[in-house]
Structure 1
Amino acid sequence: MMTTLYLVRHGETVDNANQIMQGQTQGELNENGVQQARAFSEQWKNKEIDIILASDLKRSIDTARIIAEPHQLEVLTTPLLRERDWGSFTGRFIPDLKGEVWPDDIETLENLLSRAGEFIAYVKQTFPGKKVLAVGHGIINKAIQSFYYQKPMNEIQRMQNAEVRILEL
């Protein structure tokens, strides 16, 4: 039984616009991010969606709730969809990080990809045959696609805010 996963990145946040490394902070959608989520919701209001999942971080939950409104679906959350933990890089201005040595407290790529695989298994086992829309983050969404396509992460195109990719599980 085929499960369809609509993988969405949350709308733009205040920190996205200011080039701040958010990591696993809650984040707040800015006005542009709210508009992106509303536009997505409008475009997808007639699409069949059975389940709406979100990372347990506020920026994803808020995006998912806007998308869920016309479908009158509850938003379920999972920490498996959380963004990569950037450790002591969290909260820093991204351009300042260029050339810096990565600290040891950043979530490893192996752990990130393992979590991506756990997420895919969770969706397949919990929602077989369903159409699942999942609102995550840029890097975890990239890791999910890397795991799914069995390609290195640097071969997966970066997702824009409120962009969707479709995976058949």
Structure 2
Amino acid sequence: MNDLIFIRHAETHMAGAFCGQSDPPVNAAGHRQIQMLTENLRSEPIAAVFTSDLQRSVTTARVLAEPFDLPCIIRPALREIDFGKWEGLTWEKIEKLDSIFAQQWLESFPHLTPPDGESTEIFEARVMAETSYLLSQAESRSIAVVTHAGVMRVVLRTLCGFDEKTAWALTKPYCCMFRYAHHPHTDRRLQEVPG
């Protein structure tokens, strides 16, 4: 069985704003979250650590990988969706800039693209291609995948069968995680989402 343990990065000062491909560092609360995450995963037989190239993920991954004496393998395809002109803005600010489009975006989520942003179709295709690659690297072992909430939601919806609302709730906490297990011979898929 090939196990992917998907982990959301730790908190940054942009918490509460649209932080897709912006690249802020982990803040003090985030460093405490990483320490708790490391303790929770200490007994997990992790054989490899893959991470998005954005520093909030790389920082999380490096601390996680250290007890296992593993390198972090950087994969740009694990980046969050690009929010375009909404990067760094709060929802309140977005509503002030264009309340009509903001309401349309909410009503059609996740199908309407923010101004100059990455479309959901392109983002989901990128995430699923990368997930297929990671499964090919698992080779009957557990690998940690440090990434972003949006990436994790795509996996939860597409491979695990969760609806958008549930996937959103499961990926809201920083340093949250879930396991996706794939049995390559029977095409059996299992998922374990901590409560």
| Alignment TM-score, normalising by the size of structure 2 | 0.79
SS of residue paired to 1:167: strand
Verify: 1:54 aligned to 2:56, yes or no.
no
Displacement of 1:104 in angstroms is: 3.9
> Post-superposition, which runs of at least 4 consecutive aligned residues in structure 1 deviate over 6 A?
none
Verify: 1:118 aligned to 2:117, yes or no.
no
C-alpha distance in structure 1 between counterparts of 2:141 and 2:49, whole Å: 11
Query: Any idea what the Cα deviations from partners look like across 1:10-67, whole Å, max 9, x if unmatched?
Result: 0111111xx2211101121111100000111012112100010110100000001111
Note if contact 1:113-1:147 (Cα within 8 Å) is conserved in structure 2. Answer: no
Verify: 1:83 aligned to 2:80, yes or no.
yes
Give the direction of change, closer, same or farther, for the CA distance of 1:62–1:161 in structure 2 (3 Å limit): same
For the pair shown, which has the larger CA radius of gyration, 1 or 2? 2
C-alpha distance in structure 2 between counterparts of 1:56 and 1:38, whole Å: 20
Note if contact 1:23-1:86 (Cα within 8 Å) is conserved in structure 2. Answer: yes
Give the counterpart letter for 1:8 in structure 2.
I
C-alpha distance in structure 1 between counterparts of 2:100 and 2:62, whole Å: 37
C-alpha distance in structure 1 between counterparts of 2:49 and 2:150, whole Å: 19
Note if contact 2:79-2:148 (Cα within 8 Å) is conserved in structure 1. Answer: yes
C-alpha distance in structure 1 between counterparts of 2:165 and 2:49, whole Å: 28
Give the direction of change, closer, same or farther, for the CA distance of 1:106–1:25 in structure 2 (3 Å limit): same
Give the counterpart letter for 2:60 in structure 1.
T
Give the direction of change, closer, same or farther, for the CA distance of 1:48–1:92 in structure 2 (3 Å limit): same
Displacement of 1:111 in angstroms is: 1.2
C-alpha distance in structure 1 between counterparts of 2:115 and 2:90, whole Å: 19
| Alignment TM-score, normalising by the size of structure 1 | 0.90
Which residue is equivalent to 1:93?
Answer: 90
Q: Please, which runs of 5 or more residues in structure 1 have no aligned partner?
A: none
CA root-mean-square deviation: 1.6
What count of residue pairs does the alignment treat as equivalent? 166
Task: Among all aligned residue pairs of Structure 1 and Structure 2, give the percentage whose two residues are the same amino acid.
Answer: 24
